[in-house]
Chains A and B, each alone.
Chain A
Amino acid sequence: MADLLGFVLSGLVSGALYALLATGLVLSYSASGLFNFAHGATAYLCALGFHELHSGFGWPAIPTAILMVFVIAPALGWALDRLMFRKLARVGETAQIVATIGLLVALPALGLWVVELLEDAGASVVPAENQFGLPGVGPSPAESWQLMDGVGIDSDQLITWVATAIVAVALWILMRHTPLGLKLRASVDNRSLVELRGISADRLSSLAWMLSSGLAGLAGVLATPLLALSAHDYTLFLFISATAAVLGRFMSVPLAFAGGLGLGVLQNLVAGYASFADGITGFRTAVPFLILFAGLLIMTRRQRTAGTAAVDAPPIDYLAGKSWIRKWGPWATGAVLLALAFYTVTTPFWSGTLTQGLAISLVFISFTVVTGLGAMVSLAQATFVTGAAMVAGLLMSHGWPFIGAAVVGTCVAALLGALVALPALRLGGRSLALATLALAFLADQVLFQMGWLRNGDTGWEIPRPVFGPVDLTDDRAMGVAMVVLVVAAVAAVSALRNSPSGRAMLAVRSAPAAAMASGVSVVRTKLMLFTLSAGLAGFGGVMYASYQTRITATDFTAMTGLIWLAVVVAAGVRRPQFAVVAGLVFAIMPPLISDYVTESAHLPVILFGLAGLALANDPDGYAAAASVRRHRRKAAVQHTPTTAVTREAGPPPEGAALELRGVRAGYDGAPVLTGVDLTVRSGEILALLGPNGAGKSTTCKVAAGLLTAQGGTVYVSGHDATRHGAVRRARAGVVLAPEGRGIFPSLTIEENLALHLPSREAREEVYARFPSLSERRKVTAGSLSGGEQQMLALAPLLQDPPKVLIADEPSLGLAPRVVDEVFRLLTELRDAGTALLLVEEKAAEILGVADTVAYLSQGKVTWCGPRTEVQADRLTEAYLGIAGTDGSTAGGGGDAGAGADADAGAVEEPRTRTDTGTGEKPRTRTDTGTGEKPRTGTDTDTDSGTDSDSDSDSDSDGTSTRTSTDPSESSSTEVARP
């Protein structure tokens, strides 16, 4: 019994650290939706800083710790948020994962580099290497007390417990009982809605990152005596705490906190009682990762199918439709030149280096398959590489020929890939990444510890093959052979991408549900991708091992796989040729830097890590960004003159609460509004009608500041507000009730109201007005009915009428009786002096309340006038989308997605209905084109169901093209081929 108590008590120490780290993870995830792999690195950096300031500069321990936790760590979090996290929150999940993986290696290297520089400058720093038994905050050496026989604690443990307990209470108070905590929780729920409420989500995100970093700093300082200064250990610690964050579903701070504590205890109990597993080498080492994997499988809800990233729109392929020479010419020339170079210019060293780069390229192409085609982040690629090479080596030691061994090795890797994929496929995004990471660690610690497979530290020899006259023992011959293999792999992956199965893969990537509906098996496709990618990685592994002529179990660890991913994604993961660029850069950069820049080993690591930073700006990698940027510049040049023309001078008319003048707007490469003029006066309801795809929602977004106008002017109360974002508009009194429900589903009714109405009296008045809300103030808003939710969204507005209310389909999905109630409330708002801009599908009802009616068609207001002048045929025309133009547009809609939309040429063509029609609302059909509507990405989870009916009138052919191709990748090659 004493044993058990002892295990539990001391398990709580590492548990406390896990809890601190997990809480920080959850906070930062909540703030910007990204899982921070670099959280442990932040903790390490703080530990390093504490060590240098305390032991090096001799500063007293407690003030130094306070400085680290309350000043330096939050400052680091703030800086990182400003520099990258804020931007990363808007890009795809792959880029997010990778950017923080880059930081994971860059931050420790940066810290060590600074120490190195300080040392050179003569500062009294102490070395960061080989430091053990470092002093923490408490006495050093630690005091210890025996509580009872066999159960003791020491001062370091006590300090950890007390600090963690204080943090727990402080966090609880902050999150539950302060307005700041309420705002933070609201922004977790719905980031863009928070902005529409006039709260800067960016500032909240900064705050959350500062808090999160501070917690990491605290964990770092507390863990200094335990973990000393091993960046590796801090990162492992973080991966284990990720289990606790998973337990809290990345949302709940208390659950994550409790999970962390429980994890520490569980781990200790297993260590104490796992003697049954003594026969399995590595079992005890692997325990945390077993828990992580199991936790992921059990705790992750089935919200998205099989690992599809949430917001991950591909860049526009500007070369789509161009000739083969334009697309492949430069690459082919590069390959030929490289092959020639081996026999002409390169020295033996550089031949070897290039060969190495090509060999690793083969492995890197496997990322193109799994991450580029499949949108799944696999951190287990190194496992496949090691597995394949080990098996091949084992077979060759038994006299197998190279080819046979390589084939079997590749197959084993593919099999391993399928095994990893099977349990992992039901997970998505970061859960999948973490699960594959856990499996990679399990493989390192258990599978590759098996003596017969591993052959000790000697590993297996893999001599380079000799085929007749082709002797690959020569680096140059090996290099040329690798060029051939890499070209073949690039061609094969490109061919796969353009084949029917490739289109199925892209379909699954962009819209699993729609893919399923059109008969594509999501699970089978994903499984195939994973298997294929693992096989390719395995084959690359065998080739790489034969390049270095030997494979040992420690050559490619799970951490190696992490760094590989960062390197590949930094270059670009969507096309196999980018992976080759990544491979070559990976091999060439370090020797180049050490030859020409600095001897310090830290700098290349920092540079590789910072490539992740660049992802915040170019989420598709530097190789892809080069062409995209060039084309964007071209497009921008073509655009500039028109902007000047549409901007009209002159002051806005008196009394206009909101005025749009010549507004042009659209999404990347797809213009939607081509010159909208609208004026809404106080105390007036303006109903905006128009067919699907006319640009109604886009108009709302421009008016509310969610989308920046490309041309024209937006006036709010007579002031030019064109460049103001949503937050400033909201503060100026412009409120958008977005499509769907403008509420925070995870907050209670009371909290929802409190966000808008800080004073208790105001809230009581709302309750008096809406007794049905009053009865359930502690109920979460998500559990209300659709009508009640809409009431909840409008109720606070009635209490405190805004200057302008923009309502995007407020009656969407509501019962007729409720719709009447909603319109009654809107009229009431008008009477209170609010200017209302209403977008509605249900024209009949809205005509009953509107003062002014405007028809929007193809991005232009074609008619605007008082309700009394509305004629039935005009209304019909507006709805059929033929108002103001001839009938040819109907034909234009027929070939939606035929490929012209993504072309740069279409930017100039405002009338292309295909652009607006498909570009504007892809989400409503398939949940896919979130990239084209980046701001709406956050609400993809909640609204897919409600949207489908609103769009039932949309062209059916649009749906079918979407299911078979990735809409935004719709280069003509993909779509034109049946």
Chain B
Amino acid sequence: MLRSFRAIAAASAALLLATACNSASNSAGGSDNPGKGGSVRGVTDDSIKVGGIVSMTTASGYSKKDTDLGAKARYDRANAEGGINGRKIDYIGAEDDGQDPGKNLTAARKLVQQEKVFAVSPMSSVTFSGADLLSKEKVPTFGWGTIPQFCNSEYIYGFNGCLVPMPGGTITQSWPEGLAHVLGGAEGKSVAVLANDNDAGKFAIRTYQQGFAAGGFKVAYAKASVPATSTPSDWSAYTKEILRSNGGKAPDVVVSVMQTPYNIGLFTALKRAGYKGVLTDPTDYDPGLLAKDTTAQALDGVHVLLSFEPFESDSPQMAQFKEDIKKAAGKDVPLNMHMMTGYMSADYFLSIAEKAGKDLTVDSFQKAAAAYSDTGTMVGDRSGPKGHKEAFGCGALVQLKDGKYVVSSPFKCYEPIPFK
């Protein structure tokens, strides 16, 4: 055994030495670094290769797969209009990361190393372990900025900015301001905020407590106390506390920063306990929810926050969006926010790529992004540099009323407050 040990040790030493020589020569030579030399990764004379990463299948039954459809719809239109500076978009579809960090990284590697894409758009998941690789390989990436990696990363862009407030950054005020609009002013109104019992929930409580206070509300209750792993079957423990939180009375607004199954349970319980105030959450804008009696009833009257133009709006770009989606799907499909995520991620990428001009390289793309700004899109006013630090800060509230969504506070951009 000892002899074999020595043999192994000797062999590995030799191997390592070989690696050393090789990696030394390799790093000096430089690999296929995009942006340098004649050929740019994923860009040919008449095409730009783009891929996506989306959580499609998950153990929790939550899927963002329509993000892919949204992106495809937008790219299809770009191609139908003649492409970007004469180049067609070769969208190879989205890899499924299954909300698994390992798969997320593998998907990123596959897109960069195997497919050699120029950019990744959309990237929509709850995990983003491929972020470092994408940054290192200088792959412009566009997606839903709910993950910290979308903030302060040179090559990674949130389609409506970076949505995770960073110390020294700002908090977007679209929710408090929107609610103030619904209530006819925040003065003297109290809110109760409820979140999941985990780190993310704590963080949400911290930001919204600040945001609602700055918006002029009295924060009567703010707790991250709902078990995070599975939906409680019984909500009475929480409803009782909330309904007594405003000095023994019920607060004017109950804000839930939780996912749909939790909201259904909480709102149903609150209504059964006789609560008559305003209910609001940021996740339940899904016309699919209207299709079921239970959800339609549970969420009836709830004001839902969205950070893009509501589907109910009749602006020309919304009409265009609906038409594009219908064309890409081949039939009428119910719209949802994931389609918007994919669509606007693609849109943001295309807008910057167009600005970058005919000579498209990562460098020229980054330069164009740094100087990019526009106004009046479906996510409000976009700006390249701002998006790395904060959200674009626009939003609307829609209310579910009698089986359909009605805009209760129109889409508008608000001034953010500093995050402490």
State the A residues within 8 Å of B (CB): 3, 6-7, 10-11, 13-14, 17, 108, 112, 127-135, 140-142, 144, 146, 150-152, 154, 225-233, 235-237, 264, 268, 271-273, 278, 281-285, 287, 324, 328, 332, 336, 339, 343, 347-349, 352-353, 356, 441, 445, 449-451, 454, 456-458, 461, 468-474, 476-477, 480-481, 483-484, 487-488, 491, 494-495, 498, 548-550, 552-556, 559, 590-591, 601-602
User: Distance (Å) between the CB of B280 and the closest chain A CB?
Assistant: 17
Q: Are the CB atoms of B101 and A554 closer together than 8 Å?
A: yes
Q: Are the CB atoms of B273 and A150 closer together than 8 Å?
A: yes
Contacts of B173 in A (CB 8 A): none
Q: Are the CB atoms of A236 and B15 closer together than 8 Å?
A: no
User: Distance (Å) between the CB of A305 and the closest chain B CB?
Assistant: 30
**Smallest CB-CB separation from B11: which chain A residue?**
A336
Q: Are the CB atoms of B198 and A278 closer together than 8 Å?
A: no
Segment 1-58 of B: residues with Cβ below 8 Å from A: 1, 3-5, 8, 11-12, 15-16, 18-24, 26-27, 31, 56-58
Q: Are the CB atoms of A129 and B61 closer together than 8 Å?
A: yes
State the B residues within 8 Å of A (CB): 1, 3-5, 8, 11-12, 15-16, 18-24, 26-27, 31, 56-63, 65, 96, 98, 101-103, 105-106, 109-110, 113-114, 127, 129, 131-133, 136, 147-149, 164, 196-203, 223-234, 236-238, 240, 260-261, 264, 272-273, 286, 288-289, 292-295, 297-298, 336
Contacts of A552 in B (CB 8 A): 101, 127, 129
User: Distance (Å) between the CB of A785 and the closest chain B CB?
Assistant: 50
Looking at A10, A14, A278, the one whose CB has the most chain B CB atoms below 10 A away is A10
Contacts of A235 in B (CB 8 A): 59
Complex CA gap A264/B113 in Å reads 50
Complex CA gap A27/B60 in Å reads 28
Complex CA gap A44/B384 in Å reads 45
Interface of B is mostly: helix
Question: With A352-B109, A591-B110 known to touch, is A474 a contact of B289 (CB < 8 Å)?
Answer: no
Contacts of A468 in B (CB 8 A): 20
Q: Are the CB atoms of B26 and A476 closer together than 8 Å?
A: yes
Complex CA gap A738/B288 in Å reads 64
* Apart from A130-B61, A233-B229, A339-B15: 11 A-B pairs, beta carbons within 8 A: A14-B233, A129-B61, A133-B293, A152-B272, A230-B59, A230-B230, A332-B11, A353-B109, A469-B23, A470-B19, A473-B27
Complex CA gap A282/B96 in Å reads 30
8 contacts between A and B (CB under 8 A): A132-B292, A135-B292, A152-B272, A324-B4, A348-B114, A456-B203, A476-B26, A477-B20
Question: With A278-B225, A484-B16 known to touch, is A343 a contact of B22 (CB < 8 Å)?
Answer: yes
User: Distance (Å) between the CB of A476 and the closest chain B CB?
Assistant: 7
User: Distance (Å) between the CB of B351 and the closest chain A CB?
Assistant: 28
Find B227's partner among A142, A228, A285 (CB 8 Å cutoff).
A285
Contacts of A352 in B (CB 8 A): 109, 113
User: Distance (Å) between the CB of A357 and the closest chain B CB?
Assistant: 11
**Smallest CB-CB separation from B21: which chain A residue?**
A469
Closest 7 CB pairs of A and B: A133-B294, A129-B63, A133-B295, A10-B234, A272-B237, A477-B23, A349-B113
Question: With A230-B60, A231-B59, A285-B227 known to touch, is A135 a contact of B294 (CB < 8 Å)?
Answer: yes
Q: Are the CB atoms of B11 and A272 closer together than 8 Å?
A: no
Complex CA gap A550/B153 in Å reads 14
Q: Are the CB atoms of A281 and B264 closer together than 8 Å?
A: no
Complex CA gap A498/B288 in Å reads 62
**Smallest CB-CB separation from A556: which chain B residue?**
B101
Q: Are the CB atoms of B199 and A480 closer together than 8 Å?
A: no
Q: Are the CB atoms of B298 and A141 closer together than 8 Å?
A: yes
Interface of A is mostly: helix
Find B233's partner among A10, A285, A336 (CB 8 Å cutoff).
A10
Contacts of A473 in B (CB 8 A): 27
Q: Are the CB atoms of B200 and A457 closer together than 8 Å?
A: yes
Looking at B15, B230, B293, the one whose CB has the most chain A CB atoms below 10 A away is B230
Q: Are the CB atoms of A7 and B236 closer together than 8 Å?
A: yes
User: Distance (Å) between the CB of A592 and the closest chain B CB?
Assistant: 12
Question: With A285-B197, A349-B113, A476-B22 known to touch, is A128 a contact of B61 (CB < 8 Å)?
Answer: yes
Question: With A141-B298, A469-B23, A548-B129 known to touch, is A236 a contact of B62 (CB < 8 Å)?
Answer: no
Complex CA gap A129/B286 in Å reads 13
**Smallest CB-CB separation from B135: which chain A residue?**
A549
Q: Are the CB atoms of A480 and B236 closer together than 8 Å?
A: no
Find B19's partner among A130, A232, A477 (CB 8 Å cutoff).
A477
Q: Are the CB atoms of A227 and B294 closer together than 8 Å?
A: no
Q: Are the CB atoms of A226 and B129 closer together than 8 Å?
A: no
Q: Are the CB atoms of A271 and B237 closer together than 8 Å?
A: yes
Find A469's partner among B24, B129, B227 (CB 8 Å cutoff).
B24
User: Distance (Å) between the CB of B189 and the closest chain A CB?
Assistant: 25
Complex CA gap A281/B226 in Å reads 11
Q: Are the CB atoms of A237 and B15 closer together than 8 Å?
A: no
Q: Are the CB atoms of B293 and A268 closer together than 8 Å?
A: no
Complex CA gap A135/B298 in Å reads 13
Contacts of B96 in A (CB 8 A): 601
Complex CA gap A174/B273 in Å reads 41
Q: Are the CB atoms of A271 and B223 closer together than 8 Å?
A: no
Q: Are the CB atoms of B106 and A353 closer together than 8 Å?
A: yes
Complex CA gap A271/B196 in Å reads 13
User: Distance (Å) between the CB of A110 and the closest chain B CB?
Assistant: 13
Looking at B16, B26, B202, B223, the one whose CB has the most chain A CB atoms below 10 A away is B16
**Smallest CB-CB separation from A128: which chain B residue?**
B61
Find A287's partner among B109, B227, B234, B297 (CB 8 Å cutoff).
B227
**Smallest CB-CB separation from A234: which chain B residue?**
B230
Question: With A328-B4, A471-B27, A476-B26 known to touch, is A285 a contact of B294 (CB < 8 Å)?
Answer: no
Q: Are the CB atoms of B106 and A356 closer together than 8 Å?
A: yes
**Smallest CB-CB separation from A232: which chain B residue?**
B59
**Smallest CB-CB separation from B23: which chain A residue?**
A477
Contacts of B19 in A (CB 8 A): 470, 476-477, 480-481
Complex CA gap A146/B274 in Å reads 11
Complex CA gap A477/B16 in Å reads 8
User: Distance (Å) between the CB of A387 and the closest chain B CB?
Assistant: 16
Looking at A283, A348, A450, the one whose CB has the most chain B CB atoms below 10 A away is A348
Q: Are the CB atoms of A480 and B286 closer together than 8 Å?
A: no
Q: Are the CB atoms of B129 and A268 closer together than 8 Å?
A: no
Q: Are the CB atoms of A7 and B4 closer together than 8 Å?
A: no
Contacts of A348 in B (CB 8 A): 31, 113-114
Q: Are the CB atoms of B16 and A457 closer together than 8 Å?
A: no
Contacts of A454 in B (CB 8 A): 199
**Smallest CB-CB separation from B260: which chain A residue?**
A132
Q: Are the CB atoms of A470 and B23 closer together than 8 Å?
A: yes
**Smallest CB-CB separation from B294: which chain A residue?**
A133
Complex CA gap A347/B115 in Å reads 12
Find B15's partner among A287, A472, A483 (CB 8 Å cutoff).
A483
Complex CA gap A150/B164 in Å reads 38
Contacts of A481 in B (CB 8 A): 16, 19
Q: Are the CB atoms of A226 and B233 closer together than 8 Å?
A: yes
Question: With A132-B295, A134-B294, A328-B4 known to touch, is A233 a contact of B199 (CB < 8 Å)?
Answer: no
Q: Are the CB atoms of A11 and B234 closer together than 8 Å?
A: yes
Complex CA gap A301/B6 in Å reads 47
Contacts of A555 in B (CB 8 A): 101-102, 127, 129
Q: Are the CB atoms of B12 and A150 closer together than 8 Å?
A: no
User: Distance (Å) between the CB of A122 and the closest chain B CB?
Assistant: 13
Q: Are the CB atoms of B261 and A278 closer together than 8 Å?
A: no
Contacts of A550 in B (CB 8 A): 129, 131-132
User: Distance (Å) between the CB of B325 and the closest chain A CB?
Assistant: 17
Find B236's partner among A132, A272, A343, A472 (CB 8 Å cutoff).
A272
**Smallest CB-CB separation from B225: which chain A residue?**
A284
User: Distance (Å) between the CB of B307 and the closest chain A CB?
Assistant: 18
Complex CA gap A461/B131 in Å reads 11
Q: Are the CB atoms of A456 and B199 closer together than 8 Å?
A: yes
Q: Are the CB atoms of A469 and B4 closer together than 8 Å?
A: no
User: Distance (Å) between the CB of B35 and the closest chain A CB?
Assistant: 17
Question: With A457-B200, A471-B23, A471-B24 known to touch, is A480 a contact of B15 (CB < 8 Å)?
Answer: yes
Q: Are the CB atoms of A133 and B228 closer together than 8 Å?
A: no
Q: Are the CB atoms of A140 and B293 closer together than 8 Å?
A: yes
